[in-house]
Amino acid sequence: MIPPVDAPGNLRLHASAPRPILLVTDIMDTEQSPLQVKTDVERVAGLLLEAVPRLRRIISAAAQANESAAALTFTQLRVLGRLIHGMQLPSELARSMGITPATASGIVDLLVQRGLVARGDRPGDRRCTRLTVTPAGVACWEAATARATEALGRLLAEMEPQRRRALEEGLEALLGLMPERAPRRQSGNNHVG
């Protein structure tokens, strides 16, 4: 058995376990209670919940500084991006984003009206609608992405290089744990009748 490794606050990590197990060796002398150790994950989750809406606002504001992207919401820009990256079917789009087909259809309708997306028949299956991004849609996406990247770059440049590298590593690890597609929403209505 591998000996325990000291951790902050007289806690010991047993490295031989499949997942590190925290053992309290002397609670009376600890500055950090076991409850605080358990909430470390919750604290990071809370920071993410606080950061994501702020990041969305920064990205949306920067993207909308582009005239062709003006009045497009964050979700509409995401739909445009998914279509640019190869999705062609409305049902595939809805599934990948975790939105209802009706919501996806409404967003696509708006993008079609603005001339950013075109609908067409799917070769070999005229029952399916294929979505394609128009040249105006590609230009809109590229301009919005460039402006958002620039805005985020200015923000990240204010960080110390070590913290920026730590953030990069953390985000890469987090992205590696997450599915690329949004999980399916469970309907709250599971009864028949």
Find the CATH number of the domain harbouring 100: 1.10.10.10
pLDDT of residue 86: 84
Mean pLDDT of 10-34: 45
pLDDT of residue 93: 86
**Do 21 and 51 share a structural domain?**
yes
pLDDT of residue 181: 59
- Helix 101-113 to helix 90-97 angle (10° resolution) is 120
Residue 37: closest CA among 24, 48, 49, 28: 24
Residue 189 in domain: no
**Do 88 and 123 share a structural domain?**
yes
**Do 44 and 97 share a structural domain?**
no
pLDDT of residue 135: 94
**How do 21-24 and 11-14 pair as beta strands?**
antiparallel
- Answer with the residue of higher pLDDT: 182 or 61: 61
Alpha carbons 49 and 38: distance in angstroms, whole number: 18
Residue 156 in domain: yes
- State phi, psi for 14 to the nearest 5 degrees: -95, 105
pLDDT of residue 130: 83
**Do 127 and 33 share a structural domain?**
no
Domain hosting residue 118, numbered range: 69-134
How many residues does the structure list for the chain? 193
**Do 172 and 115 share a structural domain?**
no
Alpha carbons 180 and 52: distance in angstroms, whole number: 17
Residue 123 in domain: yes
Residue 93 in domain: yes
Under the banding of pLDDT at 50, 70 and 90, the label for residue 83 is very high
Residue 10 in domain: yes
Residue 183 in domain: no
pLDDT of residue 15: 46
Residue 56 in domain: yes
Under the banding of pLDDT at 50, 70 and 90, the label for residue 24 is very low
pLDDT for residue 64 is more than 70: yes
Domain boundary among 105, 134, 163: 134
**Do 149 and 59 share a structural domain?**
yes
Percentage with pLDDT > 90 across the chain: 32
Residue 82 in domain: yes
| Domain count along the chain | 2
Q: Are 131 and 139 in contact (CB under 8 A)?
A: no
Sheet containing strand 21-24, strands side by side: 5-7, 11-14, 21-24
